[in-house]
Amino acid sequence: MLGGKNTRWEALRLRGLRQRWIFNTVMPVFVVLALIVVLFSAGVSNYYYGSMEKGLESRAQALANSFNEYFMDNGYNSYYQRAVRSAEGFEDKNTIELQFINGQGNIEVSTSGLTAGTSPGTPDIRTAIDQNQMEPFHGRDPETGESIMAVSHPLVFNGRVVGVMRFVSSMRLVDRQVLLAVLAICAVALVCMLLVIISNLLFINNVVEPVAVVTEAAKRISAGGYGFRIEKRYPDELGELVDNINDMSMKIGQNEKLKSEFISSVSHELRTPLTAINGWGETILEDPTGDPVQVRRGIRIILNETRRLSTMVEELLEFSKMEDGHFTLRIEQVDLQAEFEDAIFTYQELFRQEDILLEYEMGDELLPPVSGDPERLKQVFCNVLDNAAKHGGAGKRITASITREDGQQVIRVRDYGPGIPEEELPFVKQKFYKGSSKARGSGIGLAVCDEIVRLHGGVFEIGNAEGGGAVVTIRLPEA
């Protein structure tokens, strides 16, 4: 039931994502297209209606001026006869109706005999009569209800308006042309809108599906499914995101595995010296003879195991500080050569007891002091020397040197043991990593050393030496 609820919730969330995406991308396009349609429709209407109105006005102006100049001075009969002849000889009577209207607004002569004697009653006629100016009209014919365009021009006799000459044209064809143009632009806008919606749906599906896959993978990883990998099917930025998540999952899985191994290893490492200390303590305590040789041997073992236990605890403390970001240095001027030689002389006697020869190659010049933390650097030297004996002690020989190279002081510690397998070299400085080595240890000593050297602005390198064995190189800047 819980899985079903989660699936439905994911479906609802993804559907909401699609809706938001479509709304946020399609709405602006829709508004722009609607604005274009409105502006285009207004422009087409103005163009057609304006052109038609100007055409009627120019014809009305020309014919009315002719009447005013040549036919109005000879009396009403002359005007009327000329109006009848003009109506009978009007060439465009099939598309335009020519009307002659008296001062009361009634039609006296018309190219359409059906309207003679009627009163159109449109405001353009009254304006032409009352204000003595040409006036257009666009609207519905009060008699027929048909959409028309009319232009009324006053006819003047002795400075007084005595009638109106009027051109009337049906708007049916023009309205049809305007409608076809508007429908065409609407169809284009609709096609554009559909293309935008389809392209956005395809795009959002190509985005949402990978996001859903990545989300599910992230949930599995957060729930403990470390090492889970997503199948890479996307070549773009989503593919890069998948690679990063896969890499994160792999690294988390590796870290979890290393932590588990670390806990197991540390538990074992702590148990071994504690068992030895406890066993030899009981042996010495219960030995009735008090054999000095046996007691001395037991105390030496107890001291060695205590020292190893203390080293392990110190490494754990240093690692904890490093993980918490509290790993700090107390910087001062340090005689690096003297600190390194102190570590050498300290370990020479310890290694001699294990039949390991520690050779120190002293340089010909005295090295200048460097800026550093003497305690931390001494910790690095001791850890490196101890690590060389632990992993390369089978060679029974360790060489150490300190030189000056290109403004850096370089320390090298080499053992003559079996060396490090090539496939393990990239990982030996990683925390918890122990590789195939059977030597005891926590697996964090080298990681701590690498961090200390890095904080000093130096480089900590581990590799295999020519002729066998491993070599550790520490480079610290003098400035």
Sign of CA dihedral 65, 69, 70, 74: positive
For residues 286 and 352, membership in a common domain is answered with: no
For residues 97 and 54, membership in a common domain is answered with: yes
Domain boundary among 323, 354, 373: 323
Say how far residue 62 (Cα) sits from the centre of its chain.
70
For residues 295 and 434, membership in a common domain is answered with: no
Global pTM reads 0.45
User: Which CATH number fits the domain that encloses residue 265?
Assistant: 1.10.287.130
What's the one-letter identity of residue 178? V
Cα(203)–Cα(197) distance, integer angstroms: 10
Cα(190)–Cα(251) distance, integer angstroms: 51
For residues 315 and 357, membership in a common domain is answered with: no
Q: Tens digit of pLDDT for each residue in 256-293?
A: 776 776 677 667 667 767 777 888 788 787 777 777 87
The predicted structure's pLDDT at residue 9: 45
Cα(265)–Cα(254) distance, integer angstroms: 16
Domain boundary among 176, 199, 226: 176
CB environment 414-426: b (16+ within 10 A), e (fewer): bbbbebbeeeeee
The predicted structure's pLDDT at residue 12: 46
- 221 in a structural domain: no
Cβ pair 151, 128 in contact under 8 A: no
Residue 363 three-state SS: coil
Total number of domains constituting the chain = 3
User: Which CATH number fits the domain that encloses residue 469?
Assistant: 3.30.565.10
The predicted structure's pLDDT at residue 24: 77
What's the one-letter identity of residue 383? N
Q: Residue 438: give the domain boundaries.
A: 328-477
Angle between helices 445-455 and 292-324 (to 10 degrees): 50
Residue 251 three-state SS: helix
For residues 318 and 340, membership in a common domain is answered with: no
Cα(148)–Cα(169) distance, integer angstroms: 6
Contacts of residue 275, defined as CB under 8 A and 6 or more positions apart, other chains included, come to none
The predicted structure's pLDDT at residue 232: 66
For residues 147 and 249, membership in a common domain is answered with: no
The first and second tokens of residue 354, run together, are 């294990």
Cα(455)–Cα(327) distance, integer angstroms: 9
For residues 110 and 50, membership in a common domain is answered with: yes
**Angle (CA) 80 85 90, round 5°:** 125
The predicted structure's pLDDT at residue 405: 87
For residues 273 and 339, membership in a common domain is answered with: no
pLDDT, averaged in runs of 10, over the chain (479 residues): 46 58 79 90 89 89 80 71 84 87 86 76 88 90 86 85 89 88 91 86 72 74 68 69 77 73 67 76 77 80 79 70 70 90 86 87 82 88 86 82 89 88 80 60 73 90 87 89
- 182 in a structural domain: no
Domain boundary among 293, 323, 353: 323
- 6 in a structural domain: no
Of the candidates 288, 320, 282, 324, the residue with the CA atom closest to the CA atom of residue 302: 282
Of the candidates 59, 109, 112, the residue with the CA atom closest to the CA atom of residue 84: 109
- 152 in a structural domain: yes
For residues 144 and 282, membership in a common domain is answered with: no
- 12 in a structural domain: no
The predicted structure's pLDDT at residue 5: 46
Cβ pair 456, 329 in contact under 8 A: yes
The predicted structure's pLDDT at residue 227: 64
Q: Helices marked H in 325-356 — which ranges?
A: 336-353
The first and second tokens of residue 209, run together, are 């599906």
